[in-house]
Every structure is written in C-alpha cells, then in structure tokens.
C-alpha cells in the first residue's frame, strides 16, 4: 500500500512539473521543494523514482529539503524560503505542510502527500476535481473504522476496550468520530489517546495500560510516521493485544 501511495504521489509530482521530453531537450534545471516531517526519507523515494524517468539530481533536477522535527511552527518560514528559491513544485507531507505551502504561494504547484481530509480543511474543492494549485492524494478512510474494529474483535473476541492513538489536529476529527461510533456499535469502550509531541507517546501508552485497553488502533497521520518503530515497541499493552494502523 505504501508503495502504491508513493507512486501516486510521484505521478502527481510529474504532472505538476512538466513533460519529460521537454526536460530532456532543454536540460532545464527543475527545483523540487520538499516540505514535511519525514522530508529526507521522502526525498530519497522521490529521487529514486524520478531517476528512472530521466530526472538526474544535479543534472536536470535539484531538491530543496525543509524538514522539521516535531513542532509545526517552522512550516510557514520554510514554505516562504522555498517560494523565494523559486521552486517549480512543492511536495508537502501532512496537513500543516500543505497549509503553509498554500499560504506561501497561490501559483506554485503543490503535491500533497498524506492529508486525511483536504476537502474539510479547504485545500481542494473535491477529490475528483481539486481545482487551484494543489493535487496529490488523501488517506481519508474513516468509513473503514468499523471494519478495523471488527478485525480487532476477530483477533481478540473478548476485547472490550480499544485505545485509539491519534495526533491532535482538526484533520483527525472525522476519523476519530467514525472510530468512536464504530466502537459504540460493537459494544467496545473507546479510549482516545491524543498527542501533540513524540515525547507524549510513553505517557499515552501508560494511560492505555492503566485503563486495561485490550487493543490499539492508530489513526494515520504524517506526524506519527517517523515514530512507527517506537509505537510498535510500546504497542504490547497486554499479553493478548492487537495493533492496527489506520
């Protein structure tokens, strides 16, 4: 699934850049701005795919990386820097990065990577016809929350309490609500673990253990992507636990 998402994102990136034939003929040096939490890793995936299509770093494409640690505050400054560098396209990972890029420029094409609900956030008009300067993909899938909880019940039939790990942001609200509604329908107690910084992971899992959660579901967010190994290490919240990533 991750590979499919990467290919879709890069396809949008190529559309936002230019026709490959023109790039080869004119040897134009394209500038790709990459903004987000896991920007360095994203850059490697983008560069590898574009090399196969004739875009060679240092020859006809350069990458301007602006990565942050955990807090979203620097996004606006970094987006402004990319605009000043006159990049041809901005690849933005996460709702905060997309918002900053959108506010920084109305003309530079923006390729969004992982945004839960770009329509509700006002980034695009619709998924089929986004309009404006933003394209890309969305990982919006709140309607699958019930199916995920059904899988939890299959794995742990006696599970009565599910802990839901989520990044505290407006974009997460629809997925959280759908998960809560699904838990209620399955007669499971819903325990929300919202965090805003990676150093809150340990305390969130401590809370889940104290309240005897039987299973954990993570609502996908770009903010949480760099900490998957840590989350997996913390995930065994009981001797019979199940971790599902939304």
Is the domain of 67 the same as that of 148?
no
Which pLDDT value is given to residue 191? 93
> In terms of domains, do 122 and 193 share one?
no
Same domain membership, residue 79 and residue 24: yes
Mean pLDDT of 91-106: 89
Burial class (CB in 10 A: 0-12, 13-18, 19+), 143: exposed
DSSP code at position 13: H
The span from the CA of 165 to the CA of 163, in Å, is: 7
Q: Looking at the structure, do residues 224 and 121 belong to the same domain, yes or no?
A: no
- Domain with 28 in it: what CATH number? 3.40.50.2300
What is the span of the domain harbouring residue 186? 142-245
Final residue before a domain boundary, out of 117, 136, 155:
136
Q: Are residues 184 and 131 in the same domain?
A: no
User: How many residues does this entry show for the chain?
Assistant: 246
Q: Are residues 29 and 73 in the same domain?
A: yes
For the residues 73-94, what does the mean pLDDT come to? 90
Give the residue from 102, 136, 170 where a domain finishes.
136
Position 154 scores a pLDDT of: 84
Whether residue 14 is found in the same domain as residue 132: yes
| pLDDT average, residue stretch 70-93 | 85
Last-in-domain residue among 90, 112, 136: 136
Claim to verify: residue 109 and residue 171 sit in the same structural domain: no
Q: Which residue has the higher pLDDT, 100 or 125?
A: 100
In this structure, the answer to whether residues 156 and 240 fall within a common structural domain is yes
Per the prediction, the chain carries an average pLDDT of 79
Report pLDDT for 57: 93
pLDDT in tens, 14-31: 555 554 444 445 578 999
- Are residues 186 and 119 both part of a single domain? no
Tokens of 131: 């309009």
User: Beta-strand (E) ranges in 37-173?
Assistant: 61-67, 89-93, 110-112, 134-136, 161-167
Residues 80 and 146 in one domain: no
Confidence of residue 85 (pLDDT cuts 50, 70, 90): very high
45 and 87 in a single domain? The answer is yes
């Amino acid at each position: 699934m991750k590979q499919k998402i990467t290919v879709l994102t890069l396809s949008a990136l190529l559309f936002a850049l230019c026709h490959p034939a023109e790039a080869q003929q004119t040897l134009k040096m394209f500038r790709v701005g990459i903004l987000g939490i896991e920007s360095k890793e994203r850059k490697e995936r983008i560069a590898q795919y574009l090399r196969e299509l004739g875009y060679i770093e240092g020859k006809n494409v350069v990458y301007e990386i602006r990565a942050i640690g955990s807090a979203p505050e620097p996004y606006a400054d970094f987006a402004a820097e990319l605009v000043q560098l006159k990049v041809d396209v901005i690849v933005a990972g996460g709702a905060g990065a997309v918002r900053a890029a959108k506010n920084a420029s109305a003309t530079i094409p923006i390729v969004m990577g992982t945004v839960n609900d770009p329509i509700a956030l006002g980034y695009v008009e619709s998924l089929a016809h986004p309009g404006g300067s933003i394209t890309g993909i969305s990982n919006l899938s709140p309607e699958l929350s019930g199916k995920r909880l059904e899988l939890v019940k299959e794995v742990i039939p006696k599970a009565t309490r599910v802990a839901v790990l989520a990044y505290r942001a407006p974009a997460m609200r629809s997925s959280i609500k759908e998960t809560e509604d699904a838990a209620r329908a399955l007669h499971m107690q819903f325990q929300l673990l919202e965090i805003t910084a990676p150093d809150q992971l340990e305390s969130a899992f401590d809370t889940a253990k104290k309240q005897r959660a039987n299973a954990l579901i993570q609502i996908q967010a770009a903010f949480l992507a760099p900490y998957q190994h840590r989350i997996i290490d913390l995930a065994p919240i009981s001797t019979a636990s199940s971790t599902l990533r939304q």
